Amino acid sequence: MNYSESMFYIANEDLNARGNIGVKKKIYAQTRVFEKYLSKCFITRYAYGMAWLLQGEQVIEKEVALSREACFACYCEWMKKYHCRRAYMRCIIPASCLYISFLREMKEMGVHVVLEYPTYPYEGEVKNEEILREDREYRGEIGKYVSLATTYAKGETVHGIRTIALQNGVNVEEHVVRNVRKKGTQINLLAVAGFSSYLGFERVLEGLYRYYQNPGTYDFHFYMVGDGYEKRNYIRLVKEYGLEQYVEFCGIRTGGQLDSCYDNADIGIAPMGMYKVGIKSATPIKTREYCSRGLPFVYGYEDDGFTGKEPYVRQVTNSPEPVDMNEIIELYEATAQNRDVIAEMRNYAEKNFSWDVLLKDVVEYMKNEGR
């Protein structure tokens, strides 16, 4: 490993924002892999008119940057100062003249760039037509300066750029295996998320409403851990459906408080609304976290990490249909108080969702390109 050179992980967002907790964890996990196999790795971020350069949590540089252009200028100066030869960059939408100029300058400096597209295709998620119009005008030029992209969807190219398909991973060691809850007649559901539209948790609320029109043997309690703009809609639906005694909004939980939430849970709820943004296949971090914790879960899309036939998962439709609570009951009855299931899930996560495994092809590419 060559410590006379460096690598930059370029994140053009505020990693400390409440809604970016998951993104920050992912970036730091990926950075640890790059440092382990390539070189010293710095992280950039941009927030409140300031450009930042970090190594881990330590601030190395910071500069006032009142525009995106000034921010990119800071990044380029730091790359020269710290002998950057490689960059892994979360894509910026829209592609713009300024963005293309930044990519061009990095190439001229001899920096080999890999672009990550966290969501692709992204047209369904970006609702502003003006942004999409600008993006369509310039995105065809990205391939002049970038020869590899990573995505979390199947496909050979993005805007003409060769891709490596990734799955989202986790630092398995960070996730404590949950304790086994005694089997009973109450099924505790747990959703841990930043509440966005694509999560589709209204499908669970609607399913609960239907279930309680003609309730069965089991009672449900749905713990919703997190925050986000969609929370207001979920609160409205809980009141409309009269589910106040069955649904609890827990706010953001971390550390020991989050561990306790998992200990109290029987079934995890993964994204249910991918259809809203035109996505059929995805690899969200949350299912990997549930798997690491040993929490059986329900999800509503195609997930490259699971077949849907595993004994600890249930795949439902990628549609607006309410979730059938009987499917959750079946999963609960098959997994409740089963230590073997928990051990199987943890083992599966260790073998399949570690970032060391998932980034192997990217690391090999960057080793060769960065010589």
DSSP 213: T
pLDDT (0 to 100) of residue 326: 96
Q: 343: Cβ–Cβ under 8 A, 6 or more apart, which residues?
A: 294
Total Cβ atoms within 10 A of residue 271: 23
pLDDT (0 to 100) of residue 370: 53
- Residue 278 — pLDDT band, cuts 50, 70, 90? confident
Q: Is the pTM here over 0.85, yes or no?
A: no
Q: Residues 209, 215, 216, 222: is their CA dihedral positive or negative?
A: positive
Angle between helix 21-37 and 285-293 (nearest 10): 80
- Residue 1 — pLDDT band, cuts 50, 70, 90? very low
Specify whether the CB–CB gap between 261 and 193 falls below 8 A. Answer: no
CA angle 210, 230, 129 (to 5 degrees): 120
pLDDT tens for each residue of 160-196: 999 998 888 888 888 999 998 999 999 999 999 989 8
Of 299, 303, 329, the residue nearest 315 (C-alpha): 299
Tell me: cis bond preceding 121? Omega within 30 of 0 counts: yes
Residue 160: both structure tokens together: 């003409």
Residue 45: both structure tokens together: 């971020």
pLDDT tens for each residue of 6-33: 999 999 888 887 667 778 888 999 999 9
Q: What are phi and psi of 204, to 5 degrees?
A: -75, -45
Average per-residue pLDDT for the chain:
92
Helix (H, G, I), strand (E, B) or coil at 150: strand
- Residue 113 — pLDDT band, cuts 50, 70, 90? very high
Q: What is the mean pLDDT of residues 81-97?
A: 94
Q: What is the mean pLDDT of residues 76-84?
A: 96
Structural Rg of the chain based on CA atoms: 22
Higher-pLDDT residue of 125, 334: 334
- Residue 2 — pLDDT band, cuts 50, 70, 90? very low
Buried b (16+ CB within 10 A) or exposed e, 287-325: bbbbbbbbbbbbbbbbbebbeeebebbbbbebeeebbbb
Beta strands in 233-350 (DSSP E): 247-251, 267-269, 281-282, 297-299, 302-303, 313-315
Q: Which of 96-100, 137-141, 184-188, 303-307 has the lowest mean pLDDT?
A: 303-307
